[in-house]
Structure 1
Amino acid sequence: MLKPKGKNTKKAAAADEDDGAVAVVGKFVKEWGTWTAKKAKVITHYGFIPLVIIIGMNSEPKPSLSQLLSPV
């Protein structure tokens, strides 16, 4: 890395450290967002039909499980 010339070398070094910290935080947020999206996709994929069945069983009139699962 090149050293800055001039009187403000300490300020420039501090700014470089801040940019590095921002890059690390940005990378962390991006990875966390990707991880969260993948988990949400799996939960939605495997949880949608059981959720519909549970909601259907808690409705009035109370249907039996066979009535909920039959297409008619």
Structure 2
Amino acid sequence: MESTISLRPKGKGKPSKGASSSDGKSKFEFVKEWSNWSLKKAKVATHYGFIPLIIIIGMNSDPKPHLYQLLSPV
């Protein structure tokens, strides 16, 4: 009694005209979905990592400033 896993949704409706019979989505849609996902993750990483990166670069420069000197507006 083997159980098989199906990747196709069990819903009503016909598959789209250009879709392959194996998975229901074209390769273009798959690539588009993953590229959107990766760009969203890169946006979040850039958003939260930009200021710490600038602080680290500033602390490794010559002359070596203290952290409060980097964060002060003057």
Q: Is the pair's TM-score, using the shorter chain for normalization, greater than 0.5?
A: yes
- The whole-number CA distance in structure 2 between the counterparts of 1:28 and 1:50 is 34
What corresponds to 1:45 in structure 2?
47
What corresponds to 1:32 in structure 2?
34
Q: Structure 2: which 5+ runs fail to align?
A: 1-18
- The whole-number CA distance in structure 1 between the counterparts of 2:40 and 2:62 is 35
Larger RCO, structure (CA 8 Å, separation 6 or more): 2
- The whole-number CA distance in structure 2 between the counterparts of 1:61 and 1:25 is 53
Letter of the 1:67 counterpart: Q
What corresponds to 2:67 in structure 1?
65
- The whole-number CA distance in structure 2 between the counterparts of 1:28 and 1:61 is 50
TM-score calculated relative to the size of structure 2? 0.66
TM-score calculated relative to the size of structure 1? 0.68
Which structure: greater helix fraction?
Answer: 1
Alignment coverage as a number of residue pairs: 53
Instruction: Tell me the CA shift for residue 24 of structure 1.
Output: 2.3
What are the superposed Cα offsets for residues 15-41 of structure 1, whole Å, 9 maximum, x if unpaired?
Answer: xxxx627x5211110011100110011
Q: Structure 1: which 5+ runs fail to align?
A: 1-18
Secondary structure of the 2:62 match is: coil
Identity rate of aligned residues, in percent? 68
